[in-house]
Amino acid sequence: MSRLSCRPLGFLVTGFSWLLLGSLVGFAILIGLVYGTPLPSWLKLVHVHATLIGGILQLMAGGLLASQSHNSQGDRTPSDSHLLLFVTLNAATTALLVGFGLGDMRVVGLAGIVVIGAVLSLASTVWQYTRQRRTEPASPSWLYRFSLLALLAGLVLGTAMAFGFMPELYAHARLLHLHIILLGFVTLAIISLTHHLLPIILHTELYSPRLATLVMRLLPTGLAVLIVGFITSSLQLELVVGGLLVLSIGLYAYNLLRTWIRSGQPGNAASDHLLVATLFLVLTMIMGVLVGANAFPQLPILPFGSLHLAAYTHMAFIGFILQSVVGTLSYGVPEILTTRRAPSKKKQGLYRDQLTTIMNRGRTFQLTGLSLGTMSFGLLAAMTWNFSLAALSIQIATWATVGLLLGSLTLFTAKLAWALGVWPSE
């Protein structure tokens, strides 16, 4: 195995590959559902866990290790090879998916324990990294640590479910498992990263560090109260804290938008995707409150099936998380390659510009495809209130959704491969 695969860039490329695999499985599940030939239920678990564990977790590990390597002595130190962690994460992800495919929850539980061990091995790195960032204005160090603790809590809960430790509380545990990982880990980690990264991409300062600090305090508080609402089955409390989360995310979005406006920059692929991801995060939070309100027996209840649930969750998975990943890689991959491959400052500038140009190619189609594909998914789900799945209009909307998303992912994957194959010219 090459050392490259065990370095931060290897984590990023492999994590994105898992993300692509999870996306393809998701497309197959959607098409099967619409055409009345649903695929095995375990494929949904494969889709979700390949995306989150193999994809998002490994991407975040790679980003953390890349930041640590850059903050030490560039990306050239011998310590930047993490063979054991790389093998452990990917082997555990594979075992996890095989366990779901075989229906053997013991394999799933054991794989979960291995993933927990891999995450714990990164804990000291996270603490060291956040300690270095503590002196920055509106430092997101607290959110990074909170998101790590949330990840560990979600993994422990999922592992306990796999071993069948809480059968009578399975519904509550599943709800907590999903929300702790998606909100507590993924969402807070991406918000922390975007707070730090967007001003760097736009060559400016964050519009309001004070507002950013307020958001970083409100979000963990809101999440903690939301968990209490889940545990106590208090829908009223969940809706109240949902309103607090919507307010917090709204302030976060306003701060980033003002940062972009004040920069005077036209933007690029990285900033475009991060800003659009923020918009989808706001929409997802608002939809979450509406979905909760729809559960009140006193209100007229809209029919809410599996396709509607998938459309709601993928507003976050595709609109927020995937857009954030594409935006971060559009900036991060050129920076990592430049640091590693260009020995001189003069070559670094030219090489970075060359790679950035590659990542910016077709950015309008890429951004539009991901955004319209996400919204088409929601439109498809809404159409089922008036049309059957066998209707031609539903099938057209399905293929339009898959085509838009798959086209954008193909374009970005091709650009990523292109950038990886380009070396500094002599």
Helix (H, G, I), strand (E, B) or coil at 104: coil
Q: What ranges do the domains of the chain cover?
A: 265-426
- Tens place of pLDDT for every residue, the chain, 426 residues? 444 555 889 999 999 999 999 999 999 999 998 998 889 999 999 999 999 999 999 999 999 888 876 655 444 444 456 889 999 999 999 999 999 999 999 999 999 999 999 999 988 888 777 776 666 655 667 778 889 999 999 999 999 999 988 777 777 788 889 889 998 999 999 998 998 899 999 999 999 999 998 998 898 888 888 888 877 778 888 888 889 999 999 999 999 999 999 998 888 999 999 999 999 999 999 988 888 777 776 666 667 777 888 888 888 899 999 999 999 999 999 999 998 888 788 788 899 999 999 999 999 999 999 999 999 998 998 898 888 888 999 999 999 999 999 999 999 999 999 999 999 875
What pLDDT does residue 13 have? 96
Question: What is the Cα–Cα distance from 229 to 241, expressed in whole angstroms?
Answer: 9
What pLDDT does residue 160 have? 93
Cβ–Cβ under 8 Å, residues 26 and 47: yes
Nearest to 47, CA basis, from 276, 313, 349: 313
What pLDDT does residue 157 have? 93
Nearest to 11, CA basis, from 73, 68, 71, 85: 85
Q: Find the helix packing angle between 58-73 and 8-34, rounded to 10°.
A: 160
Instruction: Report how far Cα 369 is from the mean position of its chain's Cα atoms.
Output: 18
Per-residue pLDDT reduced to its tens digit, 178-206: 889 998 999 999 998 998 899 999 999 99
Cβ–Cβ under 8 Å, residues 154 and 177: yes
207 Cβ contact partners less than 8 Å away, ≥ 6 residues apart: 255, 256, 258, 259, 262
Question: What is the Cα–Cα distance from 283 to 246, expressed in whole angstroms?
Answer: 9
Task: Indicate the DSSP class of residue 37.
Answer: -
Measured between alpha carbons, how far is residue 352 from residues 4, 97, 275, 330, 425 in Å?
Answer: 19, 38, 22, 12, 12
Residue 216 φ/ψ region, left for φ over 0, alpha for ψ in the -120 to 50 degree band, beta for the rest: alpha
Cβ–Cβ under 8 Å, residues 259 and 215: no
pTM value is 0.92
Nearest to 30, CA basis, from 322, 318, 386: 318
Report the 3 state secondary structure along 300-330.
CCCCCCHHHHHHHHHHHHHHHHHHHHHHHHH
Q: What angle do CA 201, 202, 205 make, to 5 degrees?
A: 105
Q: In degrees to the nearest 10, what's the CA dihedral of 40, 46, 51, 56?
A: 160
Task: Indicate the DSSP class of residue 52.
Answer: I
- Amino acid present at 282: V
215 Cβ contact partners less than 8 Å away, ≥ 6 residues apart: 191, 248, 251, 252, 255
Nearest to 374, CA basis, from 238, 228, 273, 255: 273
What DSSP letter does each residue of 222-285 carry, written as one string? HHHHHHHHHHHT-HHHHHHHHHHHHHHHHHHHHHHHHHHHHHT----HHHHHHHHHHHHHHHHH
Question: What is the Cα–Cα distance from 310 to 305, expressed in whole angstroms?
Answer: 9
What pLDDT does residue 329 have? 97
